Amino acid sequence: MSDVALGSRAGSVVEELRKLPAFFRRDLLVMWSYRLAFFTDWLNLLVQIVVFFFVSRLIDPAKIPSFGGERASYMQFVAIGIAVTSFMQISLGRVVSAIRTEQLQGTLEALLITPTAPTTIQLGSVLYELFYVPIRLFIFLGLSWVLFGVTFEVSGMLPAIGVLIVFVPFVWGIGVLSAAGVLTFRRGTGAVGVGATAFTISSGTYFPVGVLPAWLQPLAKINPITIALVAIRRALLGGAGWAEVTPTIVLLLPIALVSIAIGVVAFRAALRRERRRGTLGLY
Amino acid sequence: MSATIDRDVVRPPDAPDGRPPAIEIDDVSRTFGIVRALDGVSFAIAPGEIHALLGPNGAGKTTLLRTITGLVEPDGGEVRVLGRPTSDFSSREFRRLIGLVPSGDRTFYLRISGLENLVFFGRLHGLRRAAAVGRAWDVLEAVELTQAAKQRVGLYSHGMQKRLSVARAMLMDPAVLMIDEATHDLDPDGALRTRRLAETAAARGASVVWATQRLDEIRGFCHRVTLLSHGRVRFAGTVPELTAVAMTRRYLLRVLVRDDPTASAREIVARIGAAVGPRGAVVPAGELDGSDVVLVLEEDAVLSDAIARIAEAGVDVLACREERSMVEEAFLHLTGGGQG
């Protein structure tokens, strides 16, 4: 590729990246216009913490795995599980529904006739969540700490964030792949929800993977959510540092890249198919 | 009415300085399943021309506009913009040349303001935020929406949303502006404003494709017209040429049914229709008063004979006034709509 072509390509990428804050601002303004839903989300979060706090009183701490030599309480165990999987579910839900929502509200074609790459539209449509959901996650953990004394290792925060950063592209890739399916078949958000729940249940969010049936345990262990969760729990409950979470990051990185590549290819193919069929605006 | 609305300007497909047509549609076809939505459609539009794409519902107008914008791929044929096939442009380059005002109502984010919507779309066109805000105010002023700029679009009237849609299409001063059924449900003032916006765009050199099924608005407004029906071009030329193709005669009658003064509009139309037979057709003139009907006669039919037959059928003709709606007749004639 010539220098001119490379330069032009780099220029295009920069131009596309410059558009992303516009999506963020749009979604922030839209979300803020639904203030009640915004506050209800926080209320739900609080209720969830309260419920699991009382459930935790029924669970024998001896059955909870230990992290960094210290046995964790069920509340500590489940708080991280809920934080990470709600992060995944909200992000996944938004990626899947972003294009569908544009289609339903009639703005998809208006977006697609602007000189904006479909990938930018996809990424831009979830950018707000990519900021909001991690903030929500840390506030959730903070509330658990303040209200119910659920403590976490502060030293493990940055390594946990490191794992989360490589986990995000994996979720995005799965989401874009699902969005391609929804764009093609017009339905399927329900199936995506079932898939996400299956992933969550087998990931050790609410209970240790060790209590699953023996035949399911090998599958649960290769579930990327399980892999991420184990590392994040080690960091936040056992104080694991970068050296201990790096193998997980190295393992998750190619999974995330493959997930994104498959998702983007599938989404472009779905978009091309819709253009060919002339059904892009139909819902 | 403005002087520009009254004109009957005819422009050639090529601009006087020899520039190529801004847009050329060459033998474009598109099939959806068994439906041939576009069948070998060809025409060209000069820079600065307002070109009516006329046709009844299902004629293929929207499909053609969507094909030009690249939202639908044609099965065959080619679209050229500024003399180059669209495939020669990068998609980003091509989309900077076109603006579309879609026919649908919901093409904006209703929870945010008109200004924020325009700034968002301006940024997707590559403008920096400050430039996008400045440009948004410019086009809001052009469509007379500055007062409502900070209101949520969900609170806009239909006409305001349509003007906002025109404003969005004009954000980047596109070379080709396509307006799909912009005025079909606007009040006369809203429709006139929208037409003036299209005229402004044409005056600065944009080619305007004005898709409509309304005949009353193309005379004196559009330079040329292409009439589509069932996906095929049935006529291409000027509006006066269109009316010359099929000029028929229409009369507005005020009538009274002798034996039943309270007869409904439907009964009156049925009785007169049976009386005039196949040489004419009759339709109610309006919804308010069933006693007014429009009688359309074939070119060689005799009016007095028709009135005599109506009287024989027990209907008195109280008044008769000739009506001229030549464009509509031409439209019905060319699309086969007048044969029913």
- What are the pLDDT digits (tens) for A263-277? 889 988 888 888 777
Cβ <8 Å between A113 and B92: no
User: How many Cβ atoms sit within 10 Å of the Cβ of residue B151?
Assistant: 14
Torsion sign (Cα): B233, B237, B241, B242: positive
**pLDDT of the residue at B18:** 61
- Which of B32, B116, B126 comes nearest A278 by C-beta? B32
CB-nearest partner of A19 from B95, B102, B123: B123
DSSP state of B34: T
Q: Is A67 helix (H, G, I), strand (E, B) or coil?
A: strand
Q: Topology of B249-339 in CATH?
A: Alpha-Beta Plaits (3.30.70)
Residue A4 is assigned to a structural domain of this protein: no
The answer to whether A278 contacts B112, with C-beta atoms less than 8 Å apart, is: no
Q: Say what the ipTM of the complex is.
A: 0.77
**Residue A239: DSSP 8-state:** -
Inter-chain CB proximity B128 and A26 less than 8 Å: no
Nearest residue, CB atoms, B73 vs list A110, A116, A275: A275
Q: Do B102 and A22 touch (CB under 8 A)?
A: no
Q: What is the pTM of this model?
A: 0.74
Domain presence at residue A15: no
Q: Which of B30, B73, B106 sits opposite A106 (nearest CB)?
A: B106
Chain B positions contacting chain A at CB under 8 Å are 30, 32, 37, 63, 66, 69-73, 91-93, 95-96, 98, 100, 102, 104-112, 116, 119-121, 123-126, 128-129, 132, 152, 168
* Model pLDDT for residues A156-197, shown as the tens digit of each residue: 889 998 998 898 888 888 888 888 888 887 666 666 667 777
B237 three-state secondary structure: strand
Q: Which residues of B291-311 are buried (b: 16+ CB within 10 A; e: fewer)?
A: bbbbbbbeeebeeeebbebbe
Residue for token pair 């809203």: B190
Looking at chain A, how many residues does it have? 283
List, in order, residues 6 or more apart from B265 with CB less than 8 Å away.
Answer: B284, B290, B293
CA distance B10 to B280: 34
What are the pLDDT tens digits along chain B (340 aa)? 332 333 333 443 444 456 678 899 999 999 988 888 999 999 899 999 999 999 888 889 999 998 998 888 898 999 998 888 888 888 788 888 999 998 876 789 999 999 999 999 999 999 999 999 999 999 999 888 999 999 999 999 888 898 899 899 999 989 999 999 887 767 788 788 888 889 999 998 899 999 998 777 787 789 899 999 889 998 888 877 776 665 567 788 888 888 888 888 888 888 888 888 877 777 777 654 668 888 877 767 788 888 999 999 999 998 888 775 556 666 766 766 544 3
Torsion from C-alpha of B11, B223, B163, A123, nearest 10 degrees: -60
Q: Which of B120, B176, B178 to mutate to test the interface with A (most CBs of A within 10 A)?
A: B120
DSSP state of A81: H
Sort out which chain B residues have CB atoms less than 8 A from A29's CB and list them. Answer: 111-112, 116
Q: Which residues pair with A66 in a beta bridge?
A: A71
A43 assigned to some structural domain: yes
CA nearest to B269, candidates B285, B250, B247? B285
Q: Which of B273, B305, B312, B269 is nearest to B290 (CA)?
A: B269
Q: Quickly name the fold that domain B3-245 has.
A: Rossmann fold (3.40.50)
Q: Look-up: residue for tokens 């831009």?
A: A124
Identify the domain containing residue A151 by its residue range. 24-277
Which chain B residue shows the shortest CA-CA distance from A108?
Answer: B107
A113 and B112 within 8 Å at the Cβ level: the answer is no
The beta-carbon neighbor of A105 closest among B63, B93, B106 is B106
List residues in chain A touching B: CB distance below 8 A. 12, 15, 18-19, 21-23, 25-26, 29-30, 33-34, 105-107, 109-117, 275-278, 280-281
Q: Number of structural domains, chain A?
A: 1
What is the pLDDT averaged over residues A118-143? 83
- Give how far Cα A29 sits from Cα of A21, A282, B110, B326, Å: 12, 27, 11, 51
Distance CA B126, CA A234 (A): 44
Domains of chain B: which residue ranges? 3-245, 249-339
Chain B residues whose beta carbon lies within 8 Å of the beta carbon of residue A36:
none
Residue A13 lies inside a defined structural domain of this protein? no
Q: Which of A102, A243, A94, A91 is nearest to A167 (CA)?
A: A91
Q: Which residues of B13-49 are buried (b: 16+ CB within 10 A; e: fewer)?
A: bebeeeebbbbbbeebbbeeeeebbbbebebbbbbbb
CB-facing half-sphere around the CA of B48: CA atoms within 13 A: 13
Strand B50-54 vs strand B207-212: parallel, antiparallel, or unpaired? parallel
Q: In a 10 Å sphere around its CB, with 0-12 CB exposed, 13-18 middle and 19+ buried, how is residue B95 labelled?
A: buried
Residue A166 maps to a domain: yes
What 3-state DSSP class applies to B209? strand
First to last CA, chain B: 35
Q: Do B19 and B175 form a contact (C-beta atoms < 8 A)?
A: no
Q: What is the pLDDT of residue B64?
A: 93
What backbone phi and psi angles, to 5 degrees, belong to A224?
-55, -30
